Structure 1
Amino acid sequence: MAHQKSILVTGGAGFLGSHLCDRLIAQGHEVICLDNFFTGNKRNIEHLIGNPRFEFIRHDVTFPLYLEVEEIYNLACPASPVNYQHDPVQTTKTSVHGAINMLGLAKRLRCRIFQASTSEVYGDPSVHPQTEGYWGNVNPIGPRSCYDEGKRCAETLFFDYHRQHNIEIKVARIFNTYGPRMHPNDGRVVSNFVVQALKGDPITIYGEGKQTRSFCYVDDLIEGFVRLMNSPSDVTGPINLGNPGEFTIKELAELAIEMTGSKSKLTYVALPQDDPQQRQPDISLAKKTLGWEPNIPLREGLARTIRYFDKLLSEKD
């Protein structure tokens, strides 16, 4: 078995963070999970409470933190438009102050640190598919800017700490990810469509539904995280992690209806400001550097996600 490490996961009670905690615990590591429950949920980690290798700390990353760990995964930040636009100033603070605090901790401990960045750094891309060399097309003053620019600034900080202080960094740009433990009301397209279909509600499509997205199942993504963190020290990223399979929003809605056996009808509303028309990762770098690519097809991942939401909704009834 590999060396047992003590690992800090910020945002560890969130959708991705909780799956990462599961994976690290299963590998035999000791995990400190940090979350302030702004968007994270106790339910996501309750099965780990009581595990001797798991510790939970309620803390906001915008305030400094003093711990002894060997690795840091920085995932703390609301990641859905509903949540990050609810308190845009706090969203920017979480990305920027959070990065400064975690990088400061990594500098003090001389430990490796992972940043969960996002495909939103590409904005509404004029290059398709998006490669890591593309600098993006981002509105700096729009309603999504708190998240997009916050994450862009965090990447800047990571690379400056790397150059100035020789900190070992790993930066992943995450594309649309879905799976169990997504919040049912987080406004993300997979959870929206699945919950609406299960309830028999009309399925809301923004614009004509011709905009495209690529959907990566959470287990595939977490595998990419771990491979990147454990890659040689000269592999810093940024590196795209996502599923290059491209689907229109309308195709996803129709698939959700079919797989849930729902009688929901499609309903069309105006497209939100700065909503990207295309989003598809070029994952050549991840394949070459990490030997990573997703292997769970959309239907299989959706089936698991539907089962999760079906159980969640039946518990609420």
Structure 2
Amino acid sequence: MRKVLITGGAGFLGSHLCDKFIDEGYHVICMDNLITGDQSNIEHLLSHERFQFIYHDVTEFVSIEGDLDYILHFASPASPIDYLKIPIQTLKVGSLGTHNLLGLAKAKNACILIASTSEVYGDPLEHPQSEEYYGNVNVIGPRGVYDEAKRFQESITMAYNRFHGLQTRIVRIFNTYGPRMRLNDGRVIPAFIGQILRGEPLTIFGDGKQTRSFCYIDDQIEGIYRLLFSSYELPVNIGNPKEITIIDLAKEMEKLSSQSIKFNFKDLPKDDPLQRQPDISLAKKLLNWEPAVDRAEGIEKTINYFMNLPKEALYKTEHKRFEKHIKR
């Protein structure tokens, strides 16, 4: 039976990948230390005969018994609230963690897919962003701990590819949303949904004219899956190219919620990108992939998911094991 290791498997993207590979008939090993992941995301899989959960921090040595066909490295804080609170752990998981998993892939002769991010482009001077763009990143700014962790992650992955002949894939993930996100992790759509459900004003940073492009989780997972089984070893953008300003998104969600909502404007965070839109020409050509879920449909599905959660979930901010990692 084909076997896949998914790190960060109890997180938002990771848990959906676990579902995908279970559905495709794989034996799935989910590895997570639950700093930002949540075991409730994989609760439905724990009794499955082809699913195994391992509580482990990938910045420590990683060992898996038996054969291993694929590794998907998705362990990393991914929201500003998280990586600004645990900056050193964020850098360690992108460097030490990636090194450990590349070593494991080499030992097992496994293909490894690395989850990178659109943040490698920083506050881009090129628009939309193609894979050939090198980015505009402030390496010593507060966001640099995440941006540079991911840029290093790509560099060491390509070093293993070129020096050791390792089979590697790199996905540059653009803003993604859907069920299982944390409402209060600082990312735009879940933050807006949480505020709407709590009856609070929507927080808009700056004048709200900065742009983002939002991809629904089902589309993102399909793109990642197709990339893994391609033979392409350089980075590929996976995201939705339909760009929208934050203020227009807020108005769109106000309309979807069928209620009058106030806006609360705050100063724009340092180095917050003013534009974010993927050029997905390569993914279209290489993977025959492009998003299929309309934003309004995806947001409605996401709102319905959160409406069915217990009320206390609307106020949950951090996980039980989060605080002990802050000083590491």
Distance 1:289 1:47, change over 3 A: same
What residue is the counterpart of 1:302 in the other structure?
Answer: 299
Partner of 1:238: 235
Listed one character per residue, the Cα deviations across residues 269-300 of structure 1 (whole Å, up to 9, x for unaligned) are 10000000000000000000011101100000
Aligned pairs (5 A) from 1:25-104: 25-67=22-64, 68=66, 69-104=68-103
Separation in structure 1 between the aligned mates of residue 2 and residue 84 of structure 2, nearest angstrom: 36
Shift of 1:267: 1.3
Q: Report the number of matched residues.
A: 312
Provide the identity percentage. Answer: 53
Instruction: Write out aligned runs for 1:105-254 (5 A).
Output: 105-232=104-231, 235-254=232-251
8 Å Cα contact 1:240/1:282 also seen in 2: yes
Q: How many angstroms apart in 1 are the aligned matches of 2:78 and 2:191?
A: 15
AA in 1 matched with 2:195: Q
C-alpha separation between the residues in 1 aligned to 2:70 and 2:172? Answer: 19
Aligned position for 2:287: 290
User: Which of 13, 18, 22 pairs up with 1:16?
Assistant: 13
Q: What letter matches 1:144 in structure 2?
A: R
Question: Which of 267, 274, 283 is equivalent to 1:270?
Answer: 267
Distance (Å, rounded) in 2 between the aligned partners of 1:32 and 1:316:
27
Give the CA deviation at 1:313.
Answer: 4.8
Deviation at 1:151, TM superposition (A): 0.3
Residues 75-110 of structure 1: CA deviation (Å, up to 9, x unaligned): 000000000111101100011111100000001111
TM-score (norm 1): 0.97
Shift of 1:260: 1.7
Conserved 8 A contact 1:198-1:262: no
Q: Is the 8 A contact 1:176 1:242 kept in 2?
A: yes
TM normalised by structure 2 equals 0.94
What is the CA-CA distance between 1:237 and the residue it aligns to? Answer: 2.4
Matches of 2:2 and 2:11 in 1, distance apart?
Answer: 22
| 1:7 paired residue among 4, 9, 20 | 4
Offset at 1:71?
0.4
State the one-letter code of the partner of 1:134.
Y
CA distance in 2, matches of 1:152, 1:315: 37
Structure 2: distance between partners of 1:228 and 1:213: 23
How far apart are 1:155 and its partner, in Å?
0.2
Distance 1:129 1:190 in 2: 21
Secondary structure of the 1:12 match is: coil
Quick check: 1:124–1:136 contact (8 Å CA) kept in 2? Answer: yes
The Cα shift of 1:249 comes to: 0.3
Moved more, 107-116 or 251-260: 251-260
Compute the displacement of 1:315 (Å): 6.1
Distance in 2 between residues matched to 1:281 and 1:316, nearest whole Å: 32
Q: Which runs of 5+ in 1 are unaligned?
A: none
- Indicate the residue corresponding to 2:319 in structure 1: none
Q: Which runs of 4+ in 1 moved over 6 A?
A: none
- Cα RMSD (Å): 1.0
Aligned CA distance change for structure 1 residues 74 and 11 (closer, same or farther; 3 Å)? same
1:154 CA drift (Å): 0.4
SS in 1 for 2:112: strand
